[in-house]
Amino acid sequence: MNFILYIFVFVYYIESIYTVQKAKADSILVEFFPIYYFIIPCMIGTMIQGFFFRISMVWLCVAIAFILVYIEIQISISFIDDLSGLYNRKYMNHYLNKLQNNKTKHVYGFMMDINDFKAINDTYGHQKGDYALIHFGKILQHSIDKDSVAIRMGGDEFVIFAKLKSDEEALALKKQIEYNVRQFNIKSKEPFHFSFSLGIAKFNGKNTDAFLSAMDDSMYETKNMHRLMQ
């Protein structure tokens, strides 16, 4: 009977891990997802108690797992933007620190802001302005894959960091974002439409400050062109 119970427990553990991997594949924010912090201590406790029946370890390990989950949830909350549900500027700094420490290459940054966002607030009110930020965040989240992250820096400014192999892939991601924005403008029943300025830069593997500046400069070139065309 105990053997059958242990089989069911381990099936549950495997199913939980599968759920996390599926969430990653669906581009759900799971970097700080706490399920591993719950599953691993519970698995250890189950295995110890399975081999040594007189040692009660499961509940001790469950208690440890809950403590780890609580800590991890607090970390996760601190990295998530309350309004858009994307990662926030604090997480961006965390990401850039990892990038610089690991000397990672083939990472592209996409910095963008919503054109004439103030007009949305002034015309339709701040509640609609918040809806605009939420919708734009969803567009970005659905434009990227599991190896990329979308971040709201603040206000109407957003950043995407994507691991890409070439400038052609970066251009393809830019076109995907533009396509998704057009689809929103066509299908949405909201009174506002989106236009945005976007700048792209590639990380040189050394200086993250220069990386941010290159994105910023590229975005403002696009923004100035938008103003000239109005």
The per-residue pLDDT for range 175-185, each reduced to its tens digit, is 999 999 999 99
The arithmetic mean of pLDDT across residues 148-167, rounded, is 94
- Enumerate the β-bridge partners of residue 196: 114
Percent pLDDT > 70 in the chain is: 70
Q: Which two tokens stand for residue 82?
A: 């309350």
Residue 27 binned pLDDT confidence (cut-offs 50, 70, 90): very low
* Token pair 């029946």 in the structure block, residue: 53
Sheet of 196-202: strand order equals 148-154, 157-163, 107-114, 196-202
CB 33 within 8 A of CB 70: no
Reported as a single tens digit per residue, the pLDDT across 190-214 is 999 999 999 999 998 788 999 999 9
pLDDT at 229 over 90: no
SS3 assignment, position 52? coil
C-alpha to C-alpha distances, 136 to 77, 100, 157, 230, nearest whole angstrom: 21, 28, 10, 22
pLDDT at 34 over 60: no
Higher pLDDT, 9 or 128: 128
* Token pair 């830019």 in the structure block, residue: 174
pLDDT at 17 over 80: no
Q: What is the mean pLDDT of the chain?
A: 82
> What is the per-residue pLDDT for 14?
67
Residue 90 binned pLDDT confidence (cut-offs 50, 70, 90): very high
Give this prediction's pTM: 0.73
> What is the per-residue pLDDT for 1?
44
Long-range contacts: 207-210, Cβ < 8 Å, 24+? 207/100, 208/96, 208/97, 208/99, 208/100
Over its C-alpha atoms, the chain yields an Rg (Å, rounded) of: 22
Q: How far apart are CA 111 and CA 211, in angstroms?
A: 11
Reported as a single tens digit per residue, the pLDDT across 101-129 is 887 778 999 999 999 999 999 999 999 99
Q: Which of 185, 180, 76 is nearest to 138 (CA)?
A: 180
Phi-psi region of 42 (alpha: psi -120 to 50; beta: other; left: phi over 0): alpha
pLDDT at 19 over 70: no
